[in-house]
A and B are shown apart, each in its own frame.
Chain A
Amino acid sequence: MKNIILSAKKLSKSFAHNGGQIHILSQIDFDLYQNDFTVIMGTSGSGKSTLLYALSGMDRATAGQVIYNDNNLVTMNENSLAKLRCNDFGFVFQSMHLISNLTIYENIAVAGYLNKNNTSKSTCMRADDLISKMGLYSIKTHLPSQVSGGEQQRCAIARAVINTPKILFADEPTGALNRKNTNDVLDLLTNLNKSGQSILMVTHDIRAALRSTRLLYLDDGKIIGELELPEYKPEDEKRREVQVNAWLNSLEW
């Protein structure tokens, strides 16, 4: 039996446009399970990123609830949401979004410093550990503009997990990367998941989707398909690819 870590109930998001309403998300019910590597797929404009941001509290839904630890994120105030982002959630963006004037090391450490539960020493130790694990040691004093896109994204992941978040949200983390860097980043995420990290990722890259343990398909603001997968193993990749492709084809991907 899986533990629900976060759940959405009747979640809707719409925008006013030219006097009318555009519905991006319509009455979505969704549970996120602990230790799962959940991937949301969908066509462009299907509302994947909007759903991710609504679930992570980065954006407010128009209606419905997002329940985390018995709290509704939709009605939480800004300060409580900031605390949640600092302590419980980690976020990886498609465009990395590193602070340009902080070094790679500082970009990772700064999120740790912000967390009141960490001491300066523990943050430094954790940052050093992550730097080593992510293979960033040789560039740790470099500025983001001085390193490659893959290195930047690995740094962004390290930053997102420095506070050992309950959930790691990732928005197209490989969208701006080449094949080699994409594989590196996906390996990192897979390893994190294997070590117990719950991940919710949005992507339209099938290679990224193959790493998941649960696949959801979003179309026109609604979840229209779900596929459970076993834990990722490199040797099973071909078989998983066939299975996922078949599933996607059935959904007219």
Chain B
Amino acid sequence: MEILTLLKANIHYKKGSFRSIIILMSIISMALTLILSVQDNIKESIIAAQERVNTGTVLCMINKNRLSDKLYASIKNHNLVNSTRKVETIVAENVNLNGKDSSNSVFLQELREDYKLFNEKGTAYYDKVKELNSGELYISKGMQSNYSLEIGNTITINFLDQVYKFKVSGIIEDPELGASVIGWKNIFISHEDYLKLKTQDALYSLSKPGENKSALVDQLYIYKMDECYLTDGRFARQINLDTGILDMCYGTITKETLINYTYLFPKIICLILTVFVVFLMIVVLVIMCHSVSTGIEMEYTAIGIMKSLGFSKGKIRIVLASQYVLAQIIGAVTGILPAIILCRFLSQVFVPITGIIPTNSVAAGKCSFFIIGMILISVLCMYVITGKIAKVSPVIAISGGNNEIYFDSRIKAPVSKKILLPSLAFRQFTSNKRQYAGAIVSVSILAFFMTTMMVLANVITATSAWESMGVLYSDIDCKFIQNIDRDDKIVEEIKSIVEEYSAVEDYFYLDSHMYFSINGEQLMATIYGEPEQIKALTKGRIPIYDNEIVITEIAADNMGLNVGDRVTVAYGDKKAEYIISGLNQYMNDAGKNFSISMDAAEKIYSAKIFWIAYTIEDRSKGKAIEEALNERYGDKMNALFTEELMDKEYSMAIKFMTLIVYVFSIVFSVVVVYMFCCKAFIRERRDIGIFKALGFTSLKLRLQFAFRFSIVAVIGSVIGVALAAVFSGKLLSSILRLIGISSFKVIFNIRTFMVPTAVICICFFMFSLWATKKIKKVEVKELVVE
């Protein structure tokens, strides 16, 4: 009962701290519940959708004429294979989507069972999928996002010298290739149209019997045995080693990889936000522990009196800690309630990227685990901190013998008339540094994250950063409808046209991205015209000889390879041995790929040019170059000027995430300032009265507080920005490794560190000015000893 009485009194006396912890905890619990719920909902929905459409362990895209009966039988009869399934498709390379050319292969096929159709708003699925009429097609959500397509838009397919026009009549949920991060796309057409295209393909093949150019591609699903405990990747490798199927394929992808790719972007966003929330948890712990610690010093006398009344150390500890634990519990509960409502809205944010509508359930178990864990950690911390209660002597405490411990300044900056308020504020700060340590640590953590988000946001517009992280950046892209020979005179002609408008800074030319196998494992190969065009090397050197390749760090790690290792590269029935001359970064296929020069690739593959890209000096001429090239060579290639470095969805997502981090940081700043101001106000009430008696106005005293908190903000920001300069690259590299960036290029400019510092300092100044409005109520007569 006595504990309850003291607890009530404590809460009343320290309303500011109590409220602050409730607010901070409720923000954390809300954010955590949202992040964990959205993350789980998306992943579970992807897995459930793939189960529903019966996605195989491995999905092989193989030209129909390369899948011989013998090969198919060897797969079906493999001891690790449970079953197989084939879906016939027609691959189209030259597809124009509402004015934009498709950058990847498109697989045309008839509508499949178990696929769902989005409603007009894209917020739910129709109960039944409407049958397609001739001239209509369904596209996936990812395709809609990537090419900004709407229902009613036209898609033009240039197929074997014939032009077919289709109207988009709906958006379908494609759990396999429907995510915007996956390049290959399925398009669903009517039975009638499919037969028309298939006939066209057959006629073309008959007319050119030697060319073997049938566009019929089987999507071959291979299902592993239930008792096979190999990962999907290892399973695919084993099947390939035993049957050679992957080497014959146009491309393959495992179920695990499909899930990973579909889930990739939400996972990264959620991971960054989870790390941020974990840091916020640390901020709350720091603030709480600091508040308890300084509270003991401030209430030294009260604790001494309690001890003299017979309260044990344990009971006093319970009184001090239970206030904070109670605030945490209230905060956690109040945070979960809005999260349940917000979860519905936030889940929708990722639909254009994943292509699947997630469920709206709340990850109650996981959230409770984290929150209970945090409360337990805070109890443990408070148990350690309140240990110093044992040292409080009732006699010394009651006689006020601890006063001098508040003022231990060794920094003697003079108080000056010219800058009276800032100099007084600095003195208040230096003479009471320990009181502000918690606030400085909190600001540092917030500034660290705000700066890290700035670093991430900088990349949106920094071409140099993209290049160094292995993105093929160019201003003008020329992609050929039919790959051309390396010595084709058109290469020089295109360059001349470009140079008529602007000087060329850099250029590269590539074959189509192909899938070769390295030591039996399929990897995407980027075939460069010249080895010098291979960029973003992190180790070793570019290939000099035609028996050398460069592999990405992530692929090398996965396969246990390093510079100097010998590997067997195979394509179809050809194979050759190569030496790894270097490691690099390249984001395609989530960083799992390798680079090879055309000369080196010739041993196993006949390399041609698919893509020529130029970086120009005068970007303002980009559109004119695009138009000139398309006018001159429109029948042979599509030229495109890169207007935006990053897709709108991704740059929006990064900006949105930056905004979230900033908003959370600002809210945390308000609460931290409020809490520390409340404490400082209680502690310095007498000083405020003295200053008022000397003639200081309330505004001057509030400004003095604001200057003091600005000092805290500046110091915290400087520490945070410095930490970000050292660690943000490492943090982002470890998170963005998921999308193939193993070494994040940090770009620091004045804006990077000025924006977070300015935001925090302005917030601290303004909020402390607001939080100290109670100073008005302090009257000089409070100093009177009656």
> In the bound complex, do residue B690 and residue A99 qualify as a contact, i.e. CB atoms below 8 Å apart?
yes
Given A97-B686, A99-B687, A101-B428, A110-B694 contact (CB < 8 Å): yes
Given A49-B786, A110-B415, A145-B407, A97-B693 contact (CB < 8 Å): yes
> In the bound complex, do residue A86 and residue B407 qualify as a contact, i.e. CB atoms below 8 Å apart?
no
Does chain A have a CB within 8 A of B783?
yes
Does chain A have a CB within 8 A of B696?
yes
Q: How near does chain A come to B556, taking the closest CB pair, in angstroms?
A: 60
Does chain B have a CB within 8 A of A109?
yes
Chain A residue at minimal CB-CB distance from B431: A101
Residue A102 contacts which of B403, B404, B415, B432 (CB distance < 8 angstroms)? B415
**Partner-binding segment picked from B82-90, B325-333, B417-425, B594-602:** B417-425
Given A85-B695, A86-B695, A97-B783 contact (CB < 8 Å): yes
Given A120-B417, A171-B784, A114-B693 contact (CB < 8 Å): no
Does chain B have a CB within 8 A of A129?
no
> In the bound complex, do residue A97 and residue B690 qualify as a contact, i.e. CB atoms below 8 Å apart?
yes
A114 contact set on B, CB distance < 8 A = 420, 694-696
Q: Mark B412-439, 1 if CB is under 8 A from A, else 0.
A: 0011111010001001100110000000
Q: How near does chain B come to A184, taking the closest CB pair, in angstroms?
A: 20
> In the bound complex, do residue B783 and residue A93 qualify as a contact, i.e. CB atoms below 8 Å apart?
yes
A164 contact set on B, CB distance < 8 A = none
**Partner-binding segment picked from A76-84, A220-228, A239-247:** A76-84
> In the bound complex, do residue A101 and residue B403 qualify as a contact, i.e. CB atoms below 8 Å apart?
no
B432 contact set on A, CB distance < 8 A = 101
> In the bound complex, do residue B785 and residue A53 qualify as a contact, i.e. CB atoms below 8 Å apart?
no
Given A86-B694, A100-B403, A145-B404, A94-B781 contact (CB < 8 Å): no
> In the bound complex, do residue A175 and residue B417 qualify as a contact, i.e. CB atoms below 8 Å apart?
no
- A79–B701 Cα gap in the complex (Å)? 12
A84 contact set on B, CB distance < 8 A = 695
B780 contact set on A, CB distance < 8 A = 53, 58-59, 85, 91
Does chain B have a CB within 8 A of A159?
yes
Does chain A have a CB within 8 A of B697?
yes
Chain A residue at minimal CB-CB distance from B420: A113
- A85–B697 Cα gap in the complex (Å)? 10
Q: How near does chain A come to B311, taking the closest CB pair, in angstroms?
A: 28
A window 92-144: CB within 8 A of B: 93-95, 97-102, 106, 109-115, 118-120, 123, 143
A171 contact set on B, CB distance < 8 A = 784-785
Does chain B have a CB within 8 A of A87?
yes
A143 contact set on B, CB distance < 8 A = 407
B window 607-655: CB within 8 A of A: none
> In the bound complex, do residue B415 and residue A106 qualify as a contact, i.e. CB atoms below 8 Å apart?
yes
> In the bound complex, do residue A82 and residue B403 qualify as a contact, i.e. CB atoms below 8 Å apart?
no
Does chain B have a CB within 8 A of A172?
yes
Q: Mark B678-722, 1 if CB is under 8 A from A, else 0.
A: 000000001101111111111000000000000000000000000
Does chain A have a CB within 8 A of B409?
yes
Q: How near does chain B come to A45, taking the closest CB pair, in angstroms?
A: 8
> In the bound complex, do residue B785 and residue A101 qualify as a contact, i.e. CB atoms below 8 Å apart?
no
A58 contact set on B, CB distance < 8 A = 693, 779-781
- B residues contacting the other copy or chain, number (CB 8 A): 36
Interface centre among A84, A97, A119 (most CB of B within 10 A): A97
Interface centre among A59, A100, A145 (most CB of B within 10 A): A100
Q: Mark A46-62, 1 if CB is under 8 A from B, else 0.
A: 00010001000011000
> In the bound complex, do residue B697 and residue A82 qualify as a contact, i.e. CB atoms below 8 Å apart?
yes
Q: Mark B655-686, 1 if CB is under 8 A from A, else 0.
A: 00000000000000000000000000000001
Does chain A have a CB within 8 A of B727?
no
Q: How near does chain A come to B48, taking the closest CB pair, in angstroms?
A: 64
Residue A113 contacts which of B416, B428, B693, B785 (CB distance < 8 angstroms)? B416
B407 contact set on A, CB distance < 8 A = 100-101, 143, 145
> In the bound complex, do residue B785 and residue A120 qualify as a contact, i.e. CB atoms below 8 Å apart?
no
Residue A175 contacts which of B418, B424, B697, B785 (CB distance < 8 angstroms)? B785
Residue A79 contacts which of B697, B781, B785 (CB distance < 8 angstroms)? B697
> In the bound complex, do residue A53 and residue B694 qualify as a contact, i.e. CB atoms below 8 Å apart?
no
- A46–B777 Cα gap in the complex (Å)? 26
B428 contact set on A, CB distance < 8 A = 101
> In the bound complex, do residue A120 and residue B427 qualify as a contact, i.e. CB atoms below 8 Å apart?
no
- A106–B431 Cα gap in the complex (Å)? 14
Chain B residue at minimal CB-CB distance from A114: B695
> In the bound complex, do residue A113 and residue B415 qualify as a contact, i.e. CB atoms below 8 Å apart?
yes
Q: How near does chain B come to A175, taking the closest CB pair, in angstroms?
A: 7
- A101–B410 Cα gap in the complex (Å)? 11
- A123–B414 Cα gap in the complex (Å)? 14
- A119–B420 Cα gap in the complex (Å)? 12
Chain B residue at minimal CB-CB distance from A113: B417
A91 contact set on B, CB distance < 8 A = 693, 780
- A99–B693 Cα gap in the complex (Å)? 12
- A172–B784 Cα gap in the complex (Å)? 10
Q: How near does chain B come to A39, taking the closest CB pair, in angstroms?
A: 17
Chain B residue at minimal CB-CB distance from A156: B690
Does chain A have a CB within 8 A of B406?
yes
- A118–B692 Cα gap in the complex (Å)? 19
> In the bound complex, do residue B415 and residue A109 qualify as a contact, i.e. CB atoms below 8 Å apart?
yes
Q: How near does chain A come to B769, taking the closest CB pair, in angstroms?
A: 17
Q: How near does chain A come to B47, taking the closest CB pair, in angstroms?
A: 62
Q: How near does chain B come to A152, taking the closest CB pair, in angstroms?
A: 12
Given A99-B691, A101-B409, A78-B698 contact (CB < 8 Å): yes
> In the bound complex, do residue A53 and residue B784 qualify as a contact, i.e. CB atoms below 8 Å apart?
yes
B693 contact set on A, CB distance < 8 A = 58, 85, 91, 93, 97
Given A86-B694, A86-B695, A114-B696, A95-B783 contact (CB < 8 Å): yes
> In the bound complex, do residue A87 and residue B695 qualify as a contact, i.e. CB atoms below 8 Å apart?
yes
Q: How near does chain A come to B778, taking the closest CB pair, in angstroms?
A: 11
Chain B residue at minimal CB-CB distance from A92: B693
- A94–B781 Cα gap in the complex (Å)? 12
A79 contact set on B, CB distance < 8 A = 697
B687 contact set on A, CB distance < 8 A = 99-100
Q: How near does chain A come to B758, taking the closest CB pair, in angstroms?
A: 29
Chain A residue at minimal CB-CB distance from B432: A101
> In the bound complex, do residue B697 and residue A95 qualify as a contact, i.e. CB atoms below 8 Å apart?
no
A78 contact set on B, CB distance < 8 A = 697-698, 776
- A95–B785 Cα gap in the complex (Å)? 7
B783 contact set on A, CB distance < 8 A = 93, 95, 97
Q: How near does chain A come to B145, taking the closest CB pair, in angstroms?
A: 60
Q: How near does chain B come to A173, taking the closest CB pair, in angstroms?
A: 12
A100 contact set on B, CB distance < 8 A = 403, 406-407, 431, 687
Q: Mark B753-786, 1 if CB is under 8 A from A, else 0.
A: 0000000000000000000000010011101111
Q: How near does chain B come to A137, taking the closest CB pair, in angstroms?
A: 18
Chain A residue at minimal CB-CB distance from B428: A101
B695 contact set on A, CB distance < 8 A = 82-87, 111, 114-115
- A45–B784 Cα gap in the complex (Å)? 13
B781 contact set on A, CB distance < 8 A = 53, 58-59
Chain B residue at minimal CB-CB distance from A171: B784
Chain A residue at minimal CB-CB distance from B415: A106
Q: Mark B77-115, 1 if CB is under 8 A from A, else 0.
A: 000000000000000000000000000000000000000
- A91–B415 Cα gap in the complex (Å)? 21
> In the bound complex, do residue A85 and residue B694 qualify as a contact, i.e. CB atoms below 8 Å apart?
yes
Given A99-B691, A100-B687, A113-B420, A145-B415 contact (CB < 8 Å): no
Binding site for A on B (CB under 8 A): 403-404, 406-407, 409, 414-418, 420, 424, 427-428, 431-432, 686-687, 689-698, 776, 779-781, 783-786
Q: 16 A–B contact pairs at CB < 8 A?
A: A49-B784, A58-B781, A78-B698, A78-B776, A82-B695, A82-B697, A86-B695, A93-B785, A97-B686, A97-B783, A101-B428, A106-B415, A109-B415, A113-B416, A114-B694, A114-B696
Given A86-B694, A111-B694, 12 more contacts at CB 8 Å?
A: A53-B784, A59-B781, A85-B694, A94-B785, A109-B415, A110-B424, A111-B695, A112-B417, A114-B420, A114-B695, A143-B407, A145-B407
Q: Top 10 closest A-B pairs, CB basis? A: A86-B695, A101-B431, A113-B417, A120-B417, A58-B780, A85-B695, A59-B781, A82-B697, A97-B690, A111-B694
